[in-house]
Amino acid sequence: MQKATYLKFWIMPVGGNDTSQIIGREIEEFEKSHPGIKVDLSVVPWTQAWKDIITAAKRRQLPDIFQIGNTWTKTLTSISSLADLTERVSEDKMKSKFHPVAWSTCEDEATGNVFAVPWGAEARMLFYRKDIFKKAKLSIEDVSTWDQFYNTCKTINGCDGGNGPIGALGIPDIKDQGLVHDVAPWVWSGGGDYLTKDGLYAAFNKPEAVKGIKLYFDLMEKDYAPIRDRKVPGYAVYDFFVSGKYGMCIAGAFVAAGYLPGFFGTSLSCRSQEMMDKFGVAALPAGPGGRFSFLGGSDLAISNHSMNKHEAWQFIKFLTSNDTQIRLYKNIGALPSGIEPFASLFCQGTEQEKILKQTYSDYGRSYRQIDFWGGVEFIISELFGSLIDSIKSRKYDERLLSAEIAKYAGQVDYILSL
């Protein structure tokens, strides 16, 4: 009897506490069709993933296959940790199967070589309570632009939400890379970016980017997006969808699907119609530089030091197949990065689907891949965390904002000069 090949597979908790069970079922399906391959699954916490992957990469102890944030590819490529998949994706004609923005996170812009394959996608949108909007005589058009959105926040802040006064907007105050992604659409719609086009210098200290950063954190300072009374930092989605503490909330489709199964696609089991009718969704407001959403998500990569690259590639093809992507959306709400499964899931023509498709296809944007992005992302996260601390301690003002942005931009410039 031929000896089985064992693959080590690391993922983050994409299905929450049920991740091992949900992904375990996919592994069972794969092993049935590939009897000579066994997969050993490990779930790595989101907060620990980057550190664990970098540590394992330096020791050449990465698992055969692992999930990476779609902003990490170039950094891991620069330290020779990812296997070059260019020939494999070419042979299997993979590129044309995925959304272009998702695929761009897997390629080296300079060489065109491919080092990962898109897996789950994510797009941030604005969710709102229809009853609050109706009471305030507002509509979806009243959040179309920065000015309209700001005025809407002012209008509904403090309104009676049924259980007392509500905050206008629920947004996260977790000080991690997710905060960088949350602010990115405001930087872009201000006409700015985090880095210059050549990737050599910080650009979040330029006037266009500062406009977007200021708008985002001013919402917290004015308590339109209240964070001062939170005893424990959080993502605010539970308080919006369940506790009713906010009139609006910025969240990803992946997050919303956990609270509103069936909201975007009827292929998920729906909750009560009353619950479904309570919420609406809109694209993020447009600024002077346009309208954008951060198209996040994750990719799958193979360790450059794996001795089982052929078997690992079979597993990646299985996990990114149309059928598997559809199952994962139905089970955990992860948006497919593949064009065909996305289209097959969202084909009912509802208003929610239209917003999702438009955000995903027209407004979705990710970062340019550079070698030092992992370090840059950490520094920007520190900047935004510092601004949150200053708001909570009531020390935030325009002068502090400018000083902090300048300080952290200097740190980014130093890293990029190395």
Residues 70-98: tens digit of each pLDDT: 889 998 999 999 999 999 999 999 999 99
% of the chain exceeding 90 in pLDDT? 71
What digits encode the pLDDT tens for the residues 144-177? 999 999 999 999 999 998 889 999 999 988 876 6
Supply the CATH classification number for the domain 5-122+296-365. Answer: 3.40.190.10
pLDDT in tens, 363-387: 999 888 888 888 898 899 999 999 9
Question: Which tokens sit at 379?
Answer: 């520094």
CATH superfamily of this structure's domain 123-293+369-417: Periplasmic binding protein-like II (3.40.190.10)
| Amino acid 266: pLDDT | 55
**What is residue 136's predicted lDDT score, i.e. its pLDDT?**
96
Per-residue pLDDT of the chain (418 residues; tens, 9 = 90+): 568 899 999 999 988 888 999 999 999 999 999 999 999 999 999 878 988 999 999 999 999 999 998 889 998 999 999 999 999 999 999 999 999 989 999 998 889 999 999 998 889 999 999 999 999 999 999 999 999 999 999 999 999 988 899 999 999 888 766 899 999 999 999 999 999 999 999 999 999 999 999 999 999 999 999 999 887 777 788 899 989 999 999 998 877 777 877 788 654 455 556 666 889 999 999 999 999 999 888 999 999 999 999 999 999 999 999 999 999 988 888 889 999 999 998 888 888 899 999 999 899 998 888 888 888 988 999 999 999 999 999 999 999 999 999 999 999 999 999 8
Tokens representing 311? 């078997």
The token pair that represents 17 in the structure block: 């506490």
CA dihedral of residues 248, 253, 257, 259 (deg, nearest 10): -20
pLDDT of residue 207: 98
Q: Hey, where are the domains in the chain?
A: 5-122+296-365, 123-293+369-417
**How far, in Å, CA of 67 to CA of 53, rounded?**
10
Is 5-122+296-365's fold the same as 123-293+369-417's?
yes
- How far does Cα 74 stand from its chain's mean position? 17
Helix axes 207-221, 398-417, angle to 10 degrees: 130
Q: 283 and 185 in contact (C-beta within 8 Å)?
A: no
- Computed on alpha carbons and rounded to an integer, the radius of gyration of the chain in Å comes to 22
Q: Using DSSP, state whether 66 is helix, strand or coil.
A: strand
What would the two tokens of residue 26 be?
């996919």
The per-residue pLDDT for 68 is: 95
* Cα→Cα distances 21→25, 43, 409, Å: 6, 11, 43
Stated as kind and residue range, the H or E segment containing 42 is strand 37-43
Contact 320, 117 (CB under 8 A): yes
SS3 181: helix
